[in-house]
Structure 1
Amino acid sequence: MSVGDATSARRLEVGGIGLNVLDDGEGPAVLLLHGFPDSLDLWRHQVPALTGSGFRVVAPDLRGFGQSDAPEEMEAYALPAVLEDVVGILDQLEVPSLRVLGHDWGAALAWGLAALHPERVERLVAISVGHPATFPGSMEQRALSWYMLFFQFPEAEEALRRDDWRFFREAFGGGGDLDRYIEDLSRPGRLTAGLNWYRANISPESFVSAISSAVPAVSCPTLGVWSSGDVALTEHQMTSSAANVNGPWRYERIDDASHWIPVDAPERLNELLIDFLTGEESR
């Protein structure tokens, strides 16, 4: 049984969108936000480690993924709309503030939550993806992000599915849970929903011009984690995020792991998480 099917998962309605949300454990709350093309099952190694360490874990399938609804409109996946989902979940679960952990698009969302709703975020952990302001400035990062441009084309869905998802498998380099991703994305409308995260938030113009980030600096204690096997994101975009953190900043590099650190290096990540989330640094 997947984490998303656990008895501690429930369905919440937020702004007309049905969201599958895991709510497990007792103690200080920790919010886990996954990215593309994952679901809350990404956190299957972190949930028991955190609940076993005295935390309450809240982990949604973000809109378009897992067992949550997948709106058809591209605009529905713009980060401000998804951020409303997250705030709505916290309100319904009566969680005024908590620690936040995000990976991939979930990290971008976590940065936005900490910056725009600072009263809700006590501590922040960003895995793989640094502060949004670090993305436009590096030519190396733009080159690695070629797939974001590819996803903009209407033909992207057909190309990704062709020859038993061969292009998709090669592009992701064997990392993560490829068979699980393909099974999930093969459901009607789900591949388009996943690509719409890129279409709604990444413009082709951002690759050729300096576009300032709409996300301010964050003030809470922040941990950035990056892996040496990440083929999509540079180490610089994470380490340079320190300039966008007004509170205590800590950086950790994990070697011999792909972009999917929660799956590839769960023990090392769990050690870092429990150490940081139980820390006492002040804002």
Structure 2
Amino acid sequence: MSLIKVNRCGIKVQDLGEGGAVLLVHGWPDTHQIWRHQAEALTASGYRVVAPDLRGFGESEKPKKIKDHSLLHHVGDLIGVMDHLHVDRIHVVGHDWGATIAVLLAALRPSRVATLTCISVGHPRAMAAAGLRQREKSWYSLLFQFQDVAERWLSENNFANFRTLSRHPDPDPVIGRFRDPDALTAGLGIYRAASPPETLLQPSAPEPAPPLIPVPTMGIWGSADPTVVESAMTGTAAYVTGRWTYERIEGAGHWPQVEKPEQINQLLLSLLAQHPATSNATLPQAEPGAPQKAIEPSAEVGPGYR
């Protein structure tokens, strides 16, 4: 693991193997470790794996201000990590909030993305369009807006509410990290920055057209996912102009990469083999430890409900 300074934030990154590069982007409440099964399979198959801890999570730095946890800060972090590692184009795989971030990376910087894989969560507009059933399943997003209240609720009775809400397949390491109050608050920063209560309201004026995804894209959803309805994933097809494929994983919950790792690995390896991540350009070499340029945080990305 190395610490890369991007956008005035230190990002811890696991960089393994050689070959075509694959960026693995975790969501809440995880770290790069959630990809352990995929990292092993990908490196064994001749790929380079780049798996960061997002800002606010794991061993990466944890900004105090909510605005510093915006989705575009995360996108800028990933671009900065790629530049620092001299990676021009990369396969991007995201899960949960990491999938939302991956969607924005592919839509805003498509020349840097060879393929996109969204696990459990797709395009934010598809999530918004999934309607009342999705909003009901995402009720906790509103709870998470209440600082201190959410932290107390999640952690009381030895994190019993966290266990029940998340149904995480490997909760103990998460709880171990979240026993640090600062880590728990930082982990909720992405909800507070990217999914404020205002996103539940209908816009009063027409919004800019949502960014489309021009790269080959695969959506993966587990049939037993308790927090995301299927249409929130399948609806992503409307925002993809590249090749779209959809894979429904029977019996999997919100973490198919942990619950059904062999099936997910097979799907990833098949997609990656069809679309090699060859470079189109040579990037300038980054100075070791030099801060990397962010995507402008004021850019419009549109709402989602997570």
TM-score bucket of the superposed structures, by smaller chain: over 0.9
Counterpart for residue 4 of structure 1: none
Alpha-carbon distance in 2 for matches of 1:210, 1:253 = 32
Pick from 151, 160, 165: which aligns with 1:157?
A: 151
Q: Which moved more, 1:51-60 or 1:181-190?
A: 181-190
The correspondence of residues 164-243 of structure 1 with structure 2, limited to 5 A, is 164-173=158-167, 175-209=168-202, 215-243=210-238
1:255 Cα deviation from its structure 2 partner = 1.2
Q: Residues 21 and 117 (structure 1 numbering): CA distance in 2 closer, same or farther, change over 3 Å?
A: same
CA RMSD of aligned residues (A): 1.6
SS in 2 for 1:38: coil
- Structure-to-structure mapping, 1:7-26, within 5 angstroms: 9-26=1-18
Q: Please state how far the C-alpha of 1:169 moved relative to its aligned partner.
A: 1.2
Q: Select the residue among 247, 254, 259 that pairs with 2:249.
A: 254
Once residues 230 and 24 of structure 2 are traced to their aligned partners in structure 1, the CA distance between those partners, rounded to angstroms, is 22
Distance 1:268 1:210, change over 3 A: farther
Return 5+ residue gaps in structure 1 as ranges.
1-8
Q: How do 1:1-283 residues align onto structure 2 when only pairs under 5 Å count?
A: 9-137=1-129, 138-154=131-147, 155-173=149-167, 175-209=168-202, 215-280=210-275
Measure, in 2, the Cα distance between the counterparts of 1:131 and 1:44.
25
1:97: how far off?
0.8
Amino acid in the other structure paired with 2:254: H
Aligned equivalents of 1:129, 1:167: Cα separation in 2:
22
In the TM superposition, structure 1's runs of 4+ consecutive aligned residues that sit over 3 Å from their partners are 210-215
Deviation at 1:207, TM superposition (A): 2.1
Cα deviations by residue, 1:91-135 (Å, 9 ceiling, x for unpaired): 100001111000001100000000000110011000010111112
Partner SS, residue 67 of structure 1: coil
Identity of aligned residues (%): 45
Quick one: which amino acid aligns to residue 46 of structure 2?
G
The alignment of Structure 1 onto Structure 2 pairs a total of residues equal to: 273
For residues 145-164 of structure 1, give each alpha carbon's deviation from its aligned partner in whole angstroms, at most 9, with x where no partner exists.
Answer: 00101101121111111111
Counterpart amino acid of residue 120 in structure 1:
R
Deviations 1:159-212 (A, max 9, x none): 111111111111113x32111111111124111111111010012122242585
Q: C-alpha displacement at 1:16, in angstroms?
A: 2.1
Structure 1 position 50, deviation (Å):
0.3
Cα offset, 1:281, TM superposition: 9.4
Q: Which amino acid aligns with 1:191?
A: L
Contact residue 132 and residue 213 of structure 1 kept, 8 A: no
Q: Name the amino acid aligned to 1:182.
A: I
User: In 2 relative to 1, CA 125–253 (structure 1 residues): closer, same or farther, beyond 3 Å?
Assistant: same
Q: Distance in 2 between matches of 1:280 and 1:81?
A: 28
Matching residue's letter, 2:150: A
**3-state DSSP class of the match of 2:188?**
helix
